[in-house]
Amino acid sequence: MNIGSSKLVDRIIENALDEDIGPGDITTSAIVDPELKGEARLLAKEELVLAGMEIFSRVFSILGPGITVESQFHDGDMVRDGAWIALLKGSMRGILIGERTALNFLQHLSGIATLTRRYVEKTYPATVRVIDTRKTTPGLRILEKYAVRIGGGANHRFGLFDGILIKDNHIATAGSISKAVERLKTRVPHTLRIEIEVTDIESLEEAINAGADAVLLDNMSLEEMSSAVSIAGGRVILEASGGVTLESIGEIAKTGVDLISVGAITHSARSVDISLEVT
């Protein structure tokens, strides 16, 4: 699965390496012979959905030639607790210098993919899609949104530049939903879908009448969401949002909404436990 621009991804990795290594790894340089070759294994210490193996391997490629990463697993695979994920061979200096940065990426992205998979599974058998938000780690959005896709979720807009979402503050500034939509339609391309955030049924009806393509139902109750689905009657895409948890997403899915956005899958995902052990 495509992560995105290789130049952007490499820049993210290079910044992370610069942050960690600085002018050099004092400990490794003093202890490890520069000519020493060896092996190390990646061990899963809990069940997880793997995401970020390409990033993990790329860390060592950027550090220099001579380190290979061999794995029987691919992104999206469920890895059991205790499984060996990959074998690294080559310069022991390079392996030890890149270890923490590579693990940070792999643990973080696998954590997002694992949590996303749990949310997605809670929606079965409904056909609703679980989507992410812009609540991501600054500088890592392209990677985190990739991990969401690996976990079975889908992406909302990437940033402010590639989608229209009229939120409560936009409406307050414009004066009303109708006025906000009217201004948009005279100033943006007709090819962009217009989504409007609403908090009650009255605002939903105003949004539909104003020409919305999608409506975000913000912090509505299950009863309100069910009513919104009936009122919309398929005329607009409905997205449920606000405080969605693993305990509540199943019931939300049953209301018939099309999308459920979950900020927690990126901003609150726990890094999974993966270790690298020299063999």
User: Tokens standing for 38?
Assistant: 């060896």
pLDDT computed for residue 66 by the predictor? 87
Q: How confident is the model at residue 64 (pLDDT cuts 50, 70, 90)?
A: confident
pLDDT computed for residue 4 by the predictor? 67
The pLDDT > 90 percentage for the chain reads 95
pLDDT tens for each residue of 237-266: 999 999 999 999 999 999 999 999 999 999
pLDDT computed for residue 1 by the predictor? 62
Q: Which fold has domain 6-120+270-278?
A: Aldehyde Oxidoreductase; domain 3 (3.90.1170)
User: Tokens standing for 199?
Assistant: 């908090």
Q: CA separation (Å) from 178 to 77, 184, 185, 237, 255? A: 46, 10, 11, 18, 27
Average pLDDT along the chain: 96
The pLDDT > 70 percentage for the chain reads 99
Q: How confident is the model at residue 272 (pLDDT cuts 50, 70, 90)?
A: very high
Residues β-bridged to residue 88: 40, 69
Cβ neighbours for 88, distance < 8 A, ≥ 6 positions apart: 39, 40, 41, 42, 60, 67, 68, 69, 70, 95, 276
Q: Over 70: is that where the pLDDT of 271 sits?
A: yes
Give the C-alpha separation, 74 to 56, whole Å: 12
Q: Over 90: is that where the pLDDT of 220 sits?
A: yes
pLDDT tens for each residue of 83-106: 999 999 999 999 999 999 999 999
Average pLDDT over residues 212-227: 98
pLDDT computed for residue 3 by the predictor? 83
- Given a contact cutoff of 8 angstroms between Cβ atoms, the answer to whether 237 and 258 are in contact is yes
Q: How confident is the model at residue 9 (pLDDT cuts 50, 70, 90)?
A: very high
To the question of domain 122-267 being in CATH 3.20.20.70, the answer is yes
* Nearest Cα residue to 276 out of 114, 108, 95: 95
Would you kindly state where each structural domain of the chain is located, as residue ranges? 6-120+270-278, 122-267
Q: What is the 3-state secondary structure (H, E, C) of the chain?
A: CCCCCHHHHHHHHHHHHHHHHCCCCHHHHHHCCCCCEEEEEEEECCCEECCCHHHHHHHHHHHCCCCEEEECCCCCCEECCCCEEEEEEEEHHHHHHHHHHHHHHHHHHHHHHHHHHHHHHHCCCCCCEEECCCCCCCCCHHHHHHHHHHCCCECCCCCCCCCEEECHHHHHHHCCHHHHHHHHHCCCCCCCCEEEEECCHHHHHHHHHHCCCEEEEECCCHHHHHHHHHHHCCCCEEEEECCCCCCCHHHHHHCCCCEEECCHHHHCCCCCCEEEEEC
Which residues are catalytic, by number?
100, 135, 167, 197, 218
Average pLDDT over residues 23-43: 97
pLDDT computed for residue 65 by the predictor? 82
